[in-house]
Structure 1
Amino acid sequence: MKRDATGKFLSNWNSEMKQRVSVSLTNTAWRSLDKEAQRRGISRSEVIERFARSLESEELFCVQETEGKVATILESITDAFVAFDRDWRYTYVNRAAAKLLHKTPEELLGKHVWNEVFPELVGGVAYQQLHRAVAQQVPVSWEEFGEPIQCWLEANAYPSTTGVAVYFRDVSDRKRLESELRQREQQFKMVAENAPDIISRVDAEFRHIYVSPSVELATGIPSEQFVGKTNVELGMPEDLYRVWHDSFRQAFGTGQEQTIEFKFPTQNGIRWYQARIVPEFASDDSVASLLDLLRKSQAISNLVFKESS
């Protein structure tokens, strides 16, 4: 009897189908083969047989090693990850996904997602997007409020010939913040659009993001025509826009409020104004934009009037 790659005897050596092949070896290779056979106390054909069988074991080891590395990565990421086969059955669930879905991997693996786990999602956003991904073989992304788990989800799905992989995360905090910001913006506009003062907001390029309607009373220019333009593009006199832009640079650079006073030719004659330039900060504490609060400077106007009289 012959022995396998581990050195164990093969009881089925005689019954296995053999193939006679012609192998061309250099003299050096032949001597190495002969030497290895003598060292092991087996024939040259057994050495070749053992080597051939070892290739399958090495291939299996490589596959298992690769799968292990992938599993380690999927378990270490903070995103939830699940994979489905072509029959919509769970084939993989990482810890983050199990926690977010309030289930154990054992409760999901092998189960049909639409029939057994989340039948209430049939026809919904996730159902439609995942079926589109598989049918068209294209990656898809979506956001939705997951009723079964009561949180907002951001999801990305990537199809393959064997099924579809889905990465998703809880974005409830972000959605809540976005909602709060929208409410604040609505409140801001409600105040700004009914205030007699001119209220505006500029970005880091000194372009107007917002200007309240009261600007039209002073300039004759509708507020919407200011949006997206700088003071230079709006035709402001050079000596005046330089004062503004110097203050903008100071506010963006230092994060500190600036105050300027200037006179401006309005539809009702020359008027003095005082402007407060207030930095608005981003989440990383950098200055994201500037809020300009512009009102008539009555004290200066009276002083100029008295001196002229």
Structure 2
Amino acid sequence: MSSGGITLDEVLAACERVGKVCDPVTASEVGEELGCTRRAALNKLDELAERGDIESKTVGARSRVWWRPPDRSSAYEQADTDDAPAPSSVTVDESLDEIDKRLEAELDKVFGRISEGFYALDNQWKFTYVSERAKELIDAQDMDLVEESFWEVFDDEADTAFSENYRTAMETQEPTFFEVYDETLDAWYEVHAYPSESGLSVYLRDVTNLVERERELEQSERRYRALVEHFPNGAVALVDEDLHYRTVGGNPLDVADVTVEAIENRPVREALPPKLADELVPRYEAAMEGESNSFEAEYDDRTFEFHIVPVRDDDGNVFAALGMSQDVTKRKESERELERALDLLERTERIADVGGWEIDVDTQDVFWTDHIFELLEVDADEEPPLDEALNMYHEEDQPIVEAAVEDALASGDSFDIEVRIHTDHSGIRWLRLQGVPETVDGDVVSFRGAAQDITEQKERERELQERNDRLDSFASMLAHELRNPVTIGQIYSQQLPDETESDAVEYVTEAFDRIEDMIDVLLVLTQGREAIGERTPIHLADAAREAWDKVEAPEATLNIEFDYTTQADKTYVQHLFRNLFENAVEHGGSDVTITVGGLPTGFFVADDGHGIPAGERDGVFEAGYTTAADQGGTGLGLAYVKELAEVYEWEYTVTESSTGGARVEFTNVDQAAPSN
């Protein structure tokens, strides 16, 4: 781009992009920004200086810098004043404070020593161009580097910052900048590398002196570093020894409802609302004594965080204080929510006696919540790796845990197991261990779970099992002991004299038969499959009719509408039908109508009575469930039906009949060929 094609406004805009207000820029920097020569940029900068838009001064022996004072408008805004007489000389604005002067003095020395070298590499890492200055910088004046491989010429750079940054730039196609120290040349270099598909363009600059000077400038640049490094999102201000605001940045409107322009160069006490001033003034005074401090305060239902730090000169003397404020309302709300959630989690863990764990799928490291340490009786700083954590389980259960974890990591399937674990003080404890992997595209990306102490539950289950075993043993013994006298009673009842009243004989016979039925029920309930004899083909319809003959319900009606043959013990199946029929009469009324019908894989027993409420249907088969306890109901009838169905592996369910009564369905009933 020629100088004739560049407007003054474009040059002024380039200055503003290259440097902030009051920051010096060079003609080279502006030319690079505009894509023109340094001379073209220099001419336009001189024109801007002549008409008063920017100021300029000589730096060192040969260099010049330009800057835009904060009180100057842009060239476009001054278009109507171009005819005004140009100032005869330009000086630095007297409002620049002492820090600016010290920084400028150091920058004078830096700008006088700027120099760069350039070389280009193709995508095969071969040199395509090397400037003379670049050869000087890399000590290769006598070498023809074009077409040579960078890695062969500089084989000692293969594992240095050059290799890492060059290769990263080519892989990401993003420019990179880095500083590197060359021990061979005892020099520091500043390197800018710009990648493209065809190769890499490298600008090399010897910044050895600059690095040394930057170290010397560190103290004088503290103000600027503090603004950059410590400035949170919010407002920042520099306060002088008289507690006047000298520089203000950010947005003070949020906390003080004031603008930057309204408080600069004013006393802190006068510039701020009284409440905020009372908080800040003592802290600025403390900062002037070298004390840093931070605090939080609430204004208009929002929480702000303040930091006040002293600013020192080259000699370590405090000459200003830097104040920073940040609206942390959302962060505080998040912290409170997090604390509440963590507290809830901790309380829940303790109440449920459960803790959480996580296994890093990449490193296999194990992470536990606090309550896990308590469950395992392990110190909180002794979180073991996975292999050591597995060793804490009982020897017989270690393979179970290891297999569950490995399968979950490989397949992404969850697991839920009960295992034992060794503890130092409580001995062996039982844990319910659950693991839930999270997968993305079929790969496990996280693996978390929970561990719950179920030792007391296992102890209760053991005690309950022992009690049940004792009860089963007693019931079986009682059933067997009763069967012999019942049999004897049945025999003698048949030998009663003919003159004995027939009703009495019938009652005694029926009583003994009923006792025998109860014995069969008890044996099925206590012994299950062991109580069932040999299975033979039986017609379920015949078994239902024979069972109906034993039911005392002269007003009730039985309809049998199916023909189904299965392998079973006829006596026990008759008991099943009899219990269902008697239950229907008991709950449906003396004139109830009962229907036994067929299903594709079984049968059903339905009535037209009052039915069973939906909320009670799951419980009617449990032992002891009865609504006729005052009439002698034992609650064993339907429990027997359930037990027998499970012994034969029939599926059963309670629903509503077509007439609104109860309907019990049996499916998965094996069908057998009828016997001859």
Q: Which TM bucket (shorter chain)?
A: 0.5 to 0.7
How far 1:120 moved relative to its partner?
2.5
Q: Within 1, Cα distance between the matches of 2:277 and 2:256?
A: 17
Report Cα offsets for 1:211-238 as digits up to 9, x if no partner.
Answer: 16983xxx6x3xx635642262695148
Match of 1:206 in 2: 366
Verify: 1:167 aligned to 2:324, yes or no. yes
TM-score (normalised: structure 2): 0.27
Tell me whether 1:101 sits opposite 2:259 in the alignment. Answer: no
TM-score, normalised via structure 1 length: 0.52
Secondary structure of the residue that 1:211 maps to in structure 2? helix
TM-aligned CA distance change 1:104 to 1:183, over 3 Å: same
Separation in 2 of the partners of 1:259 and 1:128? Answer: 61
Does the aligned pair in 2 maintain the 1:153–1:171 contact within 8 Å?
yes
State the match for 1:135 in structure 2: 289
Distance 1:118-1:249 versus aligned 2 partners, 3 A rule = farther
Alignment check: 8 A CA contact 1:153 1:172 kept: no
1:81 correspondence with 2:236? yes
SS at match of 2:340: helix
Q: In the alignment, is the contact (CA less than 8 A) between 1:208 and 1:226 conserved in 2?
A: no
Superposed displacement of residue 178, structure 1: 0.6
Structure 1 counterpart of 2:417: 261
1:153 paired with 2:305, answer yes
Cα distance in structure 1, aligned partners of 2:326 and 2:448: 33
1:210 shift after superposition: 0.9
Cα distance, 1:62–1:266 mapped onto 2, change above 3 Å: closer
Deviation at 1:110, TM superposition (A): 2.5
Residue 185 of structure 1 pairs with residue 358 of structure 2? no
Shift of 1:92: 2.2
Letter of the aligned partner of 2:256 in structure 1? Answer: L
Partner residue in 2 for 1:276: 434
Is 1:120 the counterpart of 2:280 in the alignment?
A: no
Alpha-carbon deviation of 1:202? 5.0
Alpha-carbon separation, structure 1, partners of 2:446 and 2:329: 24
Contact 1:257 1:278 in 2 (8 A): yes
Of the two, which has the highest radius of gyration?
2
Structure 1 range deviating more: 154-163 or 237-246:
237-246
- 1:34-86 Cα offsets, whole Å, 9 max, x none, are xxxxxxxxxxxxxxxxxxx9649x98955959989x8xx98x99442222121
Cα separation, partners in 2 of 1:172 and 1:207, compared to 1, 3 Å: same
The CA deviation at 1:293 is 4.0
Judged with a 3 Å threshold, the aligned counterparts in structure 2 of structure 1 residues 130 and 250 are, in CA distance, closer, same or farther, namely farther
Q: CA RMSD in A?
A: 5.1
C-alpha distance in structure 2 between counterparts of 1:279 and 1:112, whole Å: 61
Q: Distance in 2 between matches of 1:94 and 1:81?
A: 5
Tell me, what secondary structure is at the counterpart of 1:193? helix
User: Any conservation in 2 of the 1:248–1:277 contact (CA below 8 Å)?
Assistant: no
Question: Residues 250 and 78 from structure 1, CA distance in 2 versus in 1: closer, same or farther, beyond 3 angstroms?
Answer: farther
How many percent of aligned residue pairs carry the same amino acid? 15
Unpaired stretches in structure 2, ≥5 consecutive residues = 1-55, 71-91, 101-223, 313-317, 439-444, 470-676
Structure 2 residue identity aligned to 1:198? V
**1:241/1:135 CA distance change after superposition, 3 Å:** farther
Instruction: Provide the rounded CA distance (Å) in 2 between the counterparts of 1:129 and 1:241.
Output: 64
SS at the partner of 2:366? coil
Deviation at 1:104, TM superposition (A): 1.6
CA distance in 2, matches of 1:117, 1:245: 68
**Deviation of residue 159 (structure 1)?**
1.7
The structure with higher relative contact order (CA 8 Å, sep 6+) is: 1
Question: Aligned equivalents of 1:263 and 1:121: distance in 2?
Answer: 61
